[in-house]
Structure 1
């Protein structure tokens, strides 16, 4: 389960950052400055990455026996800005408590 959780955590953050960039930078540039390049590039990337997010969420949910409703709610978290970050923390804490493990906090490489 540790590998599935790590994959989920990584892709949740990547999808979350891509969505925030898309909404907070790309959309204003597209509609206020008539510059659609960020939306075209980041929007496409987010779409493909979201598919990976769905697969990682399904894999994790299957391994920890989530009910379908829970799995779908976590999957939808990748569609609302900032919610994937909240869902990732909640899932990580819940699974750590369930397993009685200490899951390390993400650390920036330096």
Structure 2
């Protein structure tokens, strides 16, 4: 994995958790507004915050997809995580595992080349 690809994945990982948190907070604020307390309205504050984080998520997701050459199914799944409340947490964990696997594979190749 080259440096630009690793950076693209790292950016997607970094924005996925805040995007997931903002989605959950926006959902809770909406439920409180319409279900519990009619006077409580945090959506005008949380809406733009979540919108900005979602836009960053989309930009970083497209960049990561372009650089990693994920197949369409995997790319669609990673996009779907942005729609599911809390899906950003799942994506961050998956991308973290992929990054760890890439590091292990790179170390194995390096060790194999040194021993040859």
TM-score (norm. length: structure 2): 0.75
Structure showing greater Rg:
2
Matches within 5 A, 1:7-86: 7-24=11-28, 26-31=29-34, 32-35=36-39, 37-86=41-90
CA RMSD across the alignment: 1.7
When residues 36 and 80 of structure 1 are mapped into structure 2, their CA distance, relative to the original with a 3 A threshold, is farther
SS at 1:79's partner residue? coil
When residues 60 and 27 of structure 1 are mapped into structure 2, their CA distance, relative to the original with a 3 A threshold, is same
Count residues in correspondence: 100
Distance (whole Å) between structure 2 residues aligned to residue 67 and residue 36 of structure 1: 43
Structure 1: segments with no counterpart, 5+ residues: 102-110
Distance (whole Å) between structure 2 residues aligned to residue 50 and residue 82 of structure 1: 13
Which structure has more relative contact order (CA 8 Å, sep 6+)? It is 2
Structure 2: segments with no counterpart, 5+ residues: 106-116
TM-score (norm. length: structure 1): 0.79
> Which contiguous aligned blocks of 4+ residues in structure 1 show a shift greater than 4 angstroms?
none
